[in-house]
Amino acid sequence: MRRLRTRAQFQAALSAVTVARTAHFALHRCALDAPAVAGASAQPSLFQPADVWLGAMVPKRWARRAVTRNAIRRQIYALADGAPLPQAAHVVRLRAGFDRSRFASASSDALKRAVRAELEQLFARAARAGAS
């Protein structure tokens, strides 16, 4: 599994289809042979070699503390390693914040368990969407 690094790679993956959603996360998938974003060069140069590409987007808007953003990002990459993702560019995007009254600590075990459970659900939905 390779990680998305450049802004162009993230933009290409985010402009594609959302294949799975949960309460807090969305998974976007872009086929590696799809046409490029308007005005950009061809995508094959963005995603060489053909492999599973993954990026994590955890905006400050939804996770204010850096320790929380980093914990969520680590969970995304750890769980994606074992997920059966097809060869494509994927971006997991945090689309809503976790309730701070329920998870007072920025990096509590309860928050990590909640994030892990929801990410497992997200990757399971993505696998079902890819199978059909």
Give 18-55 pLDDT, tens digit per residue: 999 999 999 999 988 755 555 554 445 688 888 899 99
Q: What is the CATH number of the domain that holds 93?
A: 3.30.230.10
Instruction: Please give the torsion angle defined by the CA atoms of residues 48, 78, 91 and 59, in that order, rounded to the nearest 10 degrees.
Output: -130
Domain containing 121: what range? 2-131
* DSSP-assigned beta bridge partners for residue 45: none
pLDDT at 130: 67
Q: What angle do CA 83, 20, 72 make, to 5 degrees?
A: 60
Mean pLDDT taken over the chain: 87
Q: Is 104:68 a contact under the CB 8 Å cutoff?
A: no
Mean pLDDT, residues 96-120 taken together: 90
Under 8 Å between Cβ of 12 and 43: yes
How far apart, in whole angstroms, are the C-alpha atoms of residue 76 and residue 41? 29
Is residue 117 within 8 Å of residue 23, measured between CB atoms?
no
- Quote the CA–CA distance of 33 and 27 in Å, as a whole number: 19
Choose the weakest-confidence range: 13-17, 19-23, 53-57, 128-132.
128-132
Residues pairing with 28 in the sheet:
18, 91
- How far is Cα 102 from Cα 98, in angstroms, rounded to an integer? 8
Its pTM stands at: 0.85
The number of domains in the chain is: 1
